A and B are shown apart, each in its own frame.
Chain A
Amino acid sequence: MSVFFLRRILTLVATLVAASLIIFLVLDALPGNAAQMLMGADASPDAVHALTVKLGLDQPLTVRYLLWIRGMAVGDLGNSYVYGTPVAGLIAERLVLTIPLAIMSMLITVVLALAAGIYTAANHNKLGDVGVMSLTQIGIALPNFWFAILLILLFSVKLQLLSAGGFAGWDDGIWPGIRSLLLPAISLAVVQAAILARVTRSAVLEVLREDFVRTARAKGLGKREVLWRHVLRNAMIPVMTVMGLQFANLLAGTIVIENVFYLPGLGRLIFQSIANRDLIVVRNCVMLLAAMVVIVNFVVDVLYAFIDPRIKVANL
C-alpha cells in the first residue's frame, strides 16, 4: 500500500461521511412529520405521537444520525414507512437488476466507443472519420427513450426476438435475465457511446501530435504499431474519467429507460419513495448512490496510477 492509495482511501471515507451528513440533514429539514403523513390528516394527536415514538423520530438529531450510521454498518437500514418491510431488502431486490444493467450497458458503450474513437482518429479527416463522427452527432442528439421505443418496435414487435419489457430475474439461469436487459442496455449505451467515442477520438488525436509519436516512427514502427503501443495508453486518462462518470450515471440515472421497459430498478424505487414520502428509503437510496459514485471515482483514480507511472511516483 503506497501513500497514494492510503490518501485516496482517506479521501473516499471523508467524502462518504460528508455525503451522509448532508443527506441526513437535508431530508431531516424537510417540513412535515413522517408519522403524521403515514396516518393521514385525520389521525388523533395521541396516535401520531405513539407512532413518532415507535419510529424513533422523537430522539435528538445526533442520536438518530448515529443510529443510522450504525445501522448501515451492520446492514440494518430500518423498515420502509410505507411497505413496512426492511429497506435493505427493498434495495437489494432492485440492485440485482440495476447493477447488471449498468455493467452490460457500460460494456456495450466501451466497445462501441473505443472502436469508433480509435478508428476515426486513425483516419482523421478522411471519409470514414467524417461518416462515423456524423453518426455520433446523431447518437448524442437521440433521446434514449425514443430510441428505446424504436428498438422495441424492431426487436419485439416486428422480429419478436426479445420481450418488450419486464425483467425475467436470475432464477431461471443467466440468459433470460440478460435477454430482458439487452434492449434497455443498448438504449442506454448508444448515447453514452456517442459521447465517449468523441472523447476517445480527440484524446487519441492529441497524443498523436506528441513528439514521442514521431520518435516512435523514427525507430521504424508503422503507424498502426505506434497507435497501439504508444498512443492508446497515453490517451486513456481522459477516456477513463468520462467512463467513470458514465458508469455512475448508469446506476442512478436510468429511471426513464426503466419506465419504458417496466423494469423494477433502483431509479424507479427512488422515484416511488419520493412520491410516497417514504423518506427512510429515499435517504438510504441516495446514500447508496453517493457511495457508488465515490467508489467508482476511487476505482478510476487507482486505474490512473496503474496506467500512468508518473502518478504513483508523484505521490510516494
Chain B
Amino acid sequence: MSEAPLIEVKDLGVTLNTSRGPAQAVRGVSFALRRGETLGLVGESGCGKSVTALALMGLLHESAVISGSIRLDGAELVGLPDAAYCKLRGNRISMIFQEPMTALNPMHTIGHQVAEPLLRHTGVSATQARQEAIALLDRVGLPDAAKRVDAYPHQFSGGQRQRITIAMALACQPDVLIADEPTTALDVTIQGQILDLIAGLVAERGMSMILISHDLGVIAENVERMMVMYGGTVVESGETDAVFTRMGHPYTQGLFRARPRLGARKGTRLKTIAGTVPELADLPAGCTFADRCTIAEARCRAALPAVVDVGAAHGVRCIRTDVSMAAGGVGA
C-alpha cells in the first residue's frame, strides 16, 4: 500500500485569538490518511481535537492563524480562499458535529437541509435532490423517510437528528468524513447504533474517516489508527491495537486507567488524572503534561519533547518512555 495519502497534514499549528490573548491551540500535528483509512483523535476537552478538525474543514474563525500544511490529494488547503474551500466542504470533506439538537436549522425541513449540499455541489434538479435526500434518509435508518422528508427538526429525537446530519454529511459521497464526538450528546443506547451506522457507511463507501472522541472505548472499536492529543500536541500515535497493547505516554496510560469499568466493586472510586488541562493561552514551555505527570523531571519542563518511536509507526512524545513503558505499560 504505497498509495499517495488522501490527506496529509504536516506540522499543523493553530493560534486562536482569545480574550486572554493568543492561544496556541494546536502545535506540530502531523499525520497522513490514505483512502479508506480510519483515524481516531482522543483526548480531554480543550486538548485541540476539535480545533484540528475545524482547521481541516477551513471553518476556524478568520482571526485564527494557521501554520504548516494540509493537503488533500496533494492540493494545499492552508490559505485557500473561502470560495474555493466552499467547493470542497460538504463535497469532498464532510463533518458531523457533536450536538444534533442544534446542528439543524429549525426553520427548514429536513429534506431541504439534506438536499442542500446536493444542490450546491452537483448539477441535480430540485426534484432529483429531493429523491436523493429521501434515499439518504432511508439509508441512515430514518423510519418513514419518504413521509417525513418535509418534517422539521423539532419533530425528531436526538438520535434521529444525528441520523439526519449524517445523511447530510454523506450526501455528496465525500472522500473524508470528520466525525466530531458524534455520539457524545446521545443516550447510551443510541450511541452504539449511530457508531455502527457510521462504521457501516464508511466501509460501504470507502471513505476515510477521522473520528474524534474522548471515549477510549469508542476509539478502540472504530478506528485503525489513533492519535492521543494533549495541550494541543499529539502525545502518542500509532495503530490502535499497538497503542492499546503498549501505551507509551503517561497521559494515555492515565486516560486508560480513568475509564469506568464494569464489575468494579461497589464504592470503588473512578481513577482520575490529578490536576486540570492547562490553559491554552499560557501553555508551559516543556511537555504540556508535565504538571500532571507522576514521572516528570526537570528536563521534561525544559523543552517540548520530541516524538520517540517505540514500535512500528508507534510514536510517543515523551523522554521518559524507558520508565513509563518499563512499568508494564498500562500499569495499575
Chain B residues, CB < 8 A from A217: 59, 89
CA gap between A219 and B171 in the complex, in Å: 9
Chain B residues, CB < 8 A from A219: 89-90, 116-117, 120, 168
Chain B residues, CB < 8 A from A230: 105, 107-108
CA gap between A309 and B156 in the complex, in Å: 13
- Within 8 Å by CB of B89, from A211, A218, A233, A310, lies A218
Nearest CB in chain B to that of A223: its residue = B82
Contacting pair B165 A221 (CB below 8 A) = no
Q: Does A171 contact B (CB under 8 A)?
A: no
Contacting pair A313 B90 (CB below 8 A) = no
Q: Shortest beta-carbon distance, A129 to chain B, in Å?
A: 14
Contacts A212-B102, A215-B104, A223-B82 given; does A310 touch B116 at CB 8 Å: no
Q: Which of A273-312 contact B (CB under 8 A)?
A: 307-310
Q: Mark A192-224, 1 if CB is under 8 A from B, else 0.
A: 000000000000000000111011111111110
CA gap between A145 and B331 in the complex, in Å: 80
Q: Does B146 contact A (CB under 8 A)?
A: no
> Chain B: how many interface residues by the 8 Å CB criterion?
31
Q: Does A234 contact B (CB under 8 A)?
A: yes
Q: Which of B91-105 contact A (CB under 8 A)?
A: 91, 94-95, 97, 99, 102-105
Contacting pair B152 A309 (CB below 8 A) = yes
Contacting pair A215 B83 (CB below 8 A) = no
Chain A residues, CB < 8 A from B97: 211, 214-215, 218
Contacting pair A222 B86 (CB below 8 A) = yes
Contacting pair A310 B105 (CB below 8 A) = no
Q: Does B88 contact A (CB under 8 A)?
A: yes
Chain B residues, CB < 8 A from A215: 97, 103-105, 165, 168
Nearest CB in chain A to that of B100: its residue = A211
- Taking residues whose C-beta sits less than 8 angstroms from the other chain, chain A's interface range is 20 to 34
Contacting pair B57 A218 (CB below 8 A) = yes
CA gap between A111 and B196 in the complex, in Å: 51
Q: Does B45 contact A (CB under 8 A)?
A: no
Q: Shortest beta-carbon distance, B232 to chain A, in Å?
A: 21
Q: Does B148 contact A (CB under 8 A)?
A: no
Contacting pair B91 A220 (CB below 8 A) = yes
Contacts A218-B89, A219-B116, A230-B105 given; does A310 touch B57 at CB 8 Å: no
Contacting pair A210 B102 (CB below 8 A) = yes
CA gap between A210 and B104 in the complex, in Å: 10
Contacting pair A310 B87 (CB below 8 A) = no
CA gap between A11 and B117 in the complex, in Å: 43
Q: List 29 A-B contacts (CB under 8 A).
A: A211-B99, A211-B102, A212-B104, A212-B105, A212-B106, A214-B97, A214-B103, A215-B97, A215-B165, A215-B168, A217-B59, A218-B59, A218-B89, A218-B169, A219-B89, A219-B90, A219-B117, A219-B168, A220-B117, A220-B120, A221-B90, A221-B120, A222-B83, A308-B107, A309-B152, A309-B154, A310-B152, A313-B152, A313-B155
**Interface on A for B, CB 8 Å cutoff?**
210-212, 214-223, 230, 233-234, 307-310, 313
